[in-house]
Chains A and B, each alone.
Chain A
């Protein structure tokens, strides 16, 4: 049985907006953005946002909810994603490797159909929105596999319809050019200029410990149920061994060194690690301030 421990970092766009408002920060770069809901919130509130990540579906999602200012998926377009189109041959065996392990045969077939339909969309914005919507379906199915009697049975296409349709409300504009890129932090930070760099640092050996739902969705997007996302990080600092404190600190320091041109750097961590990050940020910044609304939500803010 798959391990779904509900563990995730609390990345709150509204909290970041409060921090930015108090410091007159109008643009931000997040080089480890993950699922960019926080960037969507910030964009919706007028802040120019740039994100980067090594996992492609995060970037595709960003194209839907961060870069995309106008394009939505209308009812007829959603219908063409969630159901088999007549006359088309679908790779319904593409995810057969997951059959009986994580999903039922019907669910695997739908994953194949959706993969083909989403890949067939011509707009990056629409593709991103579809990926975001269908990701919720994947999470729902996996959760239901753990508690089959406690969650409602919803037909796959209906569930997908509902989740994709509601992404329409995430589309907005802030009259600024917002970007996402599939790149490591060096490339992302080097390509942008902004008032602030925000990041929630990857944990030690983060690639190995990635949430099942994250790597499975990347595997779905790439059409390879056996994909291992560790390979994405192989040539990056966080892909090398970062299980010991020394090498992990060096990895974080190299990120902080790349943020020198940005007036602010905000590192989100937890109370347990706050002292470590204060120590790491201090040599790179003239002043360091810590804002700690919760033990599991601490912001180390460095200013030039």
Chain B
């Protein structure tokens, strides 16, 4: 993972995490967005761009894919509908980034137009010629280059990936941008992925707020989880205060649980959260969240807890079959809140719900699935609300 010189570590980590979310949604390897960002920034330096353009190219490269979080899950759409929905990904990304604040002003619009084609057949706006900002087209060129590099063997070397880019001259890319990229590539063939110097003060950028916003976007993809992060955070904070954990950490971790549901087709909590039937799906969600958090050291402290929310107190959970106090306390807390929220939602939607009261069911699962102390804290926190 390339380092970002001159960028506040928490900001850099939030950008890495958001970028990784975009990578996952786009079906790329983790690190794809950051690779695009680094090369785009170096390319901007090579073109002699001003510092704000270099910084905007970097952040736009990193975050270019996050708009996919606002598109419907592809399983619900035909190929044609899926392609058309994809046209809005850059606009959604631009709107999300504009709302985050603190990043260079041009970042959002570079994201908006990074998939436009020189010949006017791109999206979202079918801009053509110099109607497309030059830096946005540069990001698209870099994105295409990295995608060719990472494709399954067809373009194994950077030189061959460059060949793919050149083949799109006059279509996706202007003659000028391809010439500039060829020069950049030939002059910096060894260092085109060197750490990028980003001279931009992101003082107004709130790293934790940005991550929480993105988690809320993930929750909002599905009306079954819409607003879940806020509900969980409120309860987790109250519970944490009651049992001696840090309430702010617990509330933030509760929001991060959304990361696990990035590419759910059958959400783990669609099953009865107290049954063993959904264990595999819940554990897969937990692993996804853990893997994503691993890319950002600032937030990595939450990874073990998020990765263990599907463990059972009696040691029969997944993925590691941890038992009792071996399960991080935050994970034990989140396991109860997640189950409680899913049960709440189920009973709200049920026409007839013959099942016992949720507190009775949770109490019955205390000692097997859940930590009894956490169940007591959850019941108390709910009563307090």
Known: A6-B129, A169-B83. A163 touches B175 (CB 8 A): no
Tell me if B42 is interfacial: C-beta within 8 Å of chain A.
Answer: no
Contact of A13 among B95, B124, B167, B169 (CB under 8 A): B124
Verify A38–B125 contact, CB threshold 8 A.
yes
Contact A13/B125 with A8-B131, A139-B120 known, Cβ cut-off 8 Å: yes
Chain B proximity of A78: nearest CB distance (Å):
15
Within the assembled complex, what's the spacing in Å between the Cα atoms of A10 and B116?
A: 12
From residue A102, how far is it (CB to closest CB) to chain B in Å?
Answer: 16
User: In the complex, A7→B121 CA distance in Å?
Assistant: 17
* Contact residues in A for B121 (Cβ distance below 8 Å): 136, 163, 166
List chain B residues, Cβ under 8 A from A40.
126
In the assembly, what is the distance between CA of A146 and CA of B91, in Å? 33
Instruction: With A41-B124, A143-B175, A169-B84 as known contacts, state yes or no: A152 contacts B167, CB within 8 Å.
Output: yes
State the main secondary structure of chain A at its contact with B: helix
Q: How large is the interface on A (under 10, 10 to 19, 20 to 34, 35 or more residues)?
A: 35 or more
B125/A144 in contact, CB under 8 A: no
Interface of chain A residues 18 through 66 with chain B (CB within 8 A): 18, 35, 37-38, 40-41, 44
| CB of A11 within 8 Å of the partner chain | yes
Q: Which residues 117-163 of A sit at the B interface, judged by CB distance below 8 A?
A: 136, 139-140, 143-144, 146-147, 150-152, 163
Interface size on B, as a range, is 20 to 34
A151 pairs with B83, CB closer than 8 A:
no
Instruction: Collect the chain A residues with CB atoms within 8 Å of residue B263's CB.
Output: none
Q: In whole angstroms, how far apart are the Cα atoms of A166 and B174 in the complex?
A: 20
Q: Does B178 contact A (CB under 8 A)?
A: yes
Provide the bound-state CA to CA distance between A146 and B128, in Å.
17
B80 close to chain A: CB less than 8 A: yes
Interface: B109 (CB within 8 A): yes
Instruction: Please tell me if B101 contacts chain A, counting CB pairs below 8 Å.
Output: no
**Nearest CB in chain A: distance from B61 CB, A:** 19
Instruction: Tell me if B170 and A151 are in contact (CB < 8 A).
Output: yes
Cβ–Cβ contact B120 & A6, under 8 A: no
Please name the 9 residue pairs, one residue from A and one from B, whose CB atoms are nearest each other, closest first.
A151-B170, A37-B126, A6-B129, A10-B131, A6-B130, A14-B91, A12-B125, A8-B131, A14-B124
List 5 A-B residue pairs with CB atoms under 8 Å apart, sorted by A's residue number: A7-B130, A41-B126, A150-B178, A152-B167, A168-B80
Add 5 more A-B contacts to A10-B127, A37-B125, A152-B167 (CB < 8 A).
A8-B129, A13-B125, A14-B112, A136-B120, A151-B169
Interface positions of B (Cβ within 8 A of A): 80, 83-84, 91, 94-95, 109, 112-113, 119-121, 124-133, 166-167, 169-171, 174-175, 178-179
